[in-house]
Amino acid sequence: MKAHALIAAAVLAVSAAASDSPESLRASGERSFGGLIPVFDPAVGAPELPPGAPVSPEPIDPTDPPLDPERPLEPVIRRPRLEAFPQAAGPLLGVMPLPERLDSHRDLLPLRLGAADWDVSIAADSKFDAQYLTFRRGETLLLRRLKDLNELRGAGVVVKIDDKTTYRFKVSINIFSPVRGSTLNITPEPGTQGPKHAMKTGALLDAIKRESFVFKAEGKEYWALFGTDVDPATDALANTRSLLIINEAGMSSKAWPVAESALPEGTPTAVSLENTKLVMTRGADGRLSINAAGKASPTAR
């Protein structure tokens, strides 16, 4: 599913784990927004600090607190609970025009890589288990699968775009502001002539928000992206589409993939995002109505 941010964009950045063990922390990278928002991983080593960074910078952003190795972190990618909702929904929160939003994030990061300009973004399967970097130039769309997201926080991930263009994607963690203050470095490998890039994960998140359908529910802000799925068996685009719903909340950030096929046309469906319950109705015109759940009681399918 494409939207989920590069890793580049951003579905590359908060990594999380079921517990605070090194094994869980390492596994958590595969449940992150492409691993771009990192968590301290003892198996990888100490996070890097920007040159000249003070040991205790002030002030600390309360929405993006320093990493706490003692704090167990939760997985970022969650599975929403879907239920039939036969009764009247609550207030309308927004209407997302799915055809217009499809793959709108493919130009998430316009970058000069090697001798050419590329639009860089990410894609995934419908469950967001297999993640890809995407590179678009004109009518050309390349998919490059990311096999080990933990390498983003270690030596980096080397991606061959074409015969003359190979780049390394690597995240340097800012332990004082891990979600928005870390840096994605994109550097040419030996033999590639081209510029290098460095961008804050906060800028990546801002780019994702700009490409998203934004709505609020129960006092929280959510970003919804809609993209074409990738078939992990062929590493090619599939004939299915999915939503990715993101809530940025520091190291408590989460994202929920929702397959379009899980929202039957014309049938209100309750979608539970942890403690927030929405009612989504996909119309025949492709418009997705998002309502609060109201007082109706959904019926599990």
What are 14-70's pLDDT values in tens digits? 332 222 233 433 433 333 444 444 444 433 444 444 444 444 444 455 566 665 555
| 180, 282: one domain | no
| 253, 163: one domain | no
Query: What is the C-alpha to C-alpha distance for residues 38 and 170, in angstroms, rounded to an integer?
Result: 11
Q: Helix, strand or coil for residue 100?
A: helix
Strand partners, 101: none
Phi, psi of 292, rounded to the nearest 5 degrees: -70, 160
**Residue 251 resides in a domain:** yes
Which amino acid is located at 240 in the chain? T
Q: Which residue, among 138, 109, 131, has the nearest Cα to 121 in the 3D structure?
A: 109
| 133, 93: one domain | no
Structure confidence by residue, pLDDT tens digits, 212-251: 999 999 999 999 999 999 999 999 999 999 999 999 988 8
Tell the burial category of 220 from Cβ atoms under 10 Å away from its Cβ (0-12, 13-18, 19+): middle
| 29, 52: one domain | yes
| 45, 188: one domain | yes
**Residue 1 resides in a domain:** no
| 52, 159: one domain | yes
What per-residue confidence (pLDDT) applies to 73? 58
* Mean pLDDT calculated for residue range 132-159: 89
Which amino acid is located at 146 in the chain? L
Which amino acid is located at 179 in the chain? V
What per-residue confidence (pLDDT) applies to 100? 97
| 52, 138: one domain | yes
Residue 277 domain boundaries: 81-100+216-300
**Residue 13 resides in a domain:** yes
21-35, 147-161, 261-275 — which is least confidently predicted? 21-35
Phi, psi of 219, rounded to the nearest 5 degrees: 80, 5
| 35, 158: one domain | yes
Phi, psi of 110, rounded to the nearest 5 degrees: -80, 115
- Tokens representing 137? 């130039």
| 136, 253: one domain | no
| 123, 263: one domain | no
Domain final residue, candidates 153, 179, 206: 206
**Residue 152 resides in a domain:** yes
| 232, 281: one domain | yes
- What band does 285 get if pLDDT is binned at 50, 70 and 90? very high
Q: Within 13 A of 18's CA, how many CA atoms are on the CB side?
A: 5
> Mean pLDDT of all residues in the chain?
80
Q: What is the DSSP letter of 25?
A: H
Domain final residue, candidates 153, 180, 206: 206
List C-alpha distances in Å: 52 to 15, 55, 57, 79: 25, 9, 11, 41
| 125, 34: one domain | yes
**Residue 94 resides in a domain:** yes
**Number of structural domains found in the chain:** 2
Domain final residue, candidates 206, 226, 250: 206
Residue 80 has pLDDT above 70, yes or no: yes
